[in-house]
Amino acid sequence: MNKYDVVIIGGAIVGSSLAYFLRKEGFSGSIALVERDPQFAHAATTLSLASIRQQFSIPENIRLSQFTLGLFRRLKDEFGADADIGFREGGYLILTGEAGVPILQANHAAQLAAGADIVLEDAAALGRRFSWLSTEGVAAGAYGVSGEGWFDAHAMLGLFRRALRTMQVDLVSATVTAVTREGDRTTAVTLDNGTVLEAGIVVNAAGPNAGKVAAMAGLDLPVEPRKRTVFVFEARDRFEDMPLLVDPSGVYVRPEGSVYLTGGAESEEGEEAADPADFEPRWDLFEEVIWPTLATRIPAFEAIKMTRAWAGHYDYNRLDQNAVIGPHPQVRNFIFANGFSGHGLQQAPAVGKALAEYIVHGGYRTIDCSAFGYERVAEGRPFRELNVI
């Protein structure tokens, strides 16, 4: 079949979630989910830190994560009794120095108003709560008592992909090389094997490659790959109560089974788009930035052994490090689900649900994503998320 009601470009978590929720929403039209890397070796989804938080600065982002949290809580009802993504509700601990306190307070107020279970504590209280923590240079920290933590991204993607097998969604293994546009409508996509798929609606779920996919339709989208390295290390001490800690410097660390994961050492100043083929870890960052930071923040991490590292690409939105969700205002059958800038895994189920509602009912019902619309990109009006990790 070469004619589809919906063609989704990119079959990782965002594309798969949309296809899934389209069917759950009762969409009976034909769907093609086109993926160039069916093992997802280079997808942001599988190279991510696989964590979920409520600690955002804007209520819209909190709501997206809360929807996904709800899905995690009813995972077996949704995907079957054997569904398990290993969700560990360890919380986030976001630390700040004196200068950042007003922002942390404002964020905290927004989180409380959205019903998130976050406490804001001063350095002394944090020191009492976490015996292993050095509060040197820390004025306050926000800690997610519940509703935040980490999980297995492969398992989460697997649940959606497995469900799709029985949902009459055509899983197409190919690269989209062109998007045909006639005036204010996209009409087809061309695959690298020469096949042309006619399309009623085209959805851009191409992750870090989304800017290039939008350009195929002649549309400007400020989303590009930015390389981020995650290091794995071993330490002698285990801290069972350790949340995902974000140091005031931006360096983060969290437990993962018997080891720890850390990263966040890249500086955005002067940073440019990554080469889409470059997945070489930035090894230098460990010795130069991460280790000294960790040893200061958690004295027991003075003696640690880095065992491996990987690099993935953020789907980085240059305008405001926030998602672009919904149709292009003129080319209305081209839909964006892009630019999540490091928090898209946890938002993907919510975004899939919201866009499925938009496509089936002509508007958002459960989660209003209008604030993420492309209009702000066209106007150059940032909708900034302050808590980008």
Binding pattern to ligand FAD, positions 172-211, x when CB under 6 A? Answer: ---xx----------------------------xxxxx--
Q: Give least dist CB 49 to ligand FAD, A.
A: 4
CA 249 to CA 264: how far, in whole Å? 9
Q: In sequence order, what are the residues at sequence separation of 6 or more whose Cβ sits closer than 8 angstroms to the Cβ of residue 68?
A: 52, 346, 347, 348, 349, 350
Q: How far is CA 324 from the centre of its chain?
A: 12
SS (HEC) of 253-296: EEEECCEEEEECCCCCCCCCCCCCCCCCCCCHHHHHHHHHHHHH
Measured from the CB of residue 244, what is the shortest distance to ligand FAD in angstroms? 8
- What are the two backbone dihedrals, phi and then psi, of residue 119, each rounded to the nearest 5 degrees? -110, 145
Query: Please, are residues 149 and 93 in contact by the beta-carbon 8 Å criterion?
Result: no
Detail the DSSP E strand segments found in the chain. 3-9, 31-35, 51-52, 92-96, 118-122, 140-144, 149-150, 170-173, 176-182, 185-191, 196-204, 223-235, 244-246, 252-256, 259-263, 304-317, 324-327, 334-338
**What is the separation, in whole angstroms, between the first and last Cα of the chain?**
42
- Map residues 222-261 to x or -, x wherever contact with ligand FAD holds by CB under 6 A: ------x-x-------------------------------
Residue 387: burial class (beta carbons within 10 Å; 0-12, 13-18, 19+): buried
Instruction: Output the smallest distance, CB 85 to ligand FAD, in A.
Output: 13
Beta carbon of residue 227, minimum distance to ligand FAD (angstroms, whole number):
8
User: Helix, strand, or coil here: 238?
Assistant: coil
Q: Considering only residues 6, 7, 9, 214, which one is a binding residue for ligand FAD as defined by CB under 6 A?
A: 9
**DSSP annotation of 218:** T
Q: Which is nearer to ligand FAD, 85 or 123 (CB)?
A: 85
Residue 144 interacts with ligand FAD (CB under 6 A): yes or no: no
Contact flags string 15-34 toward ligand FAD, x per CB under 6 A: x------------------x
Q: Which pair of structure tokens corresponds to residue 4?
A: 């589809």
**Binding residues for ligand FAD restricted to 333-352, rule: CB under 6 A:** 340, 342-346, 348
d(CA 341, CA 223): 9
Q: Which stretch binds ligand FAD (CB under 6 A): 39-47, 125-133, 235-243, 359-367?
A: 39-47
Candidates 8, 12, 324, 355; binder of ligand FAD (CB under 6 A) is: 12
Closest CA to 97 of 41, 152, 140: 140
Task: In whole angstroms, give the CA distance from residue 212 to residue 33.
Answer: 18
Tokens of 263: 């990263």
For residue 346, the minimal CB distance to ligand FAD (Å) is 3
Please select the residue that binds ligand FAD; options are 43, 93, 221, 290, rule is CB under 6 A: 43
* Size, binding site for ligand FAD by CB under 6 A: 40
**Closer CB to ligand FAD, residue 15 or residue 255?**
15
Q: Is 331 in the site for ligand FAD (CB under 6 A)?
A: no
**Whose CB is nearest to ligand FAD?**
344
Site stretch for ligand FAD (CB under 6 A), options 43-51, 96-104, 272-280, 357-365: 43-51
By CB under 6 A, name the one of 6, 21, 35, 217 that touches ligand FAD. 35
Which residues of this protein are in contact with ligand FAD, per CB under 6 A?
9-10, 12-15, 34-37, 40, 43-45, 47-51, 175-176, 205-209, 213, 228, 230, 312-315, 340, 342-346, 348
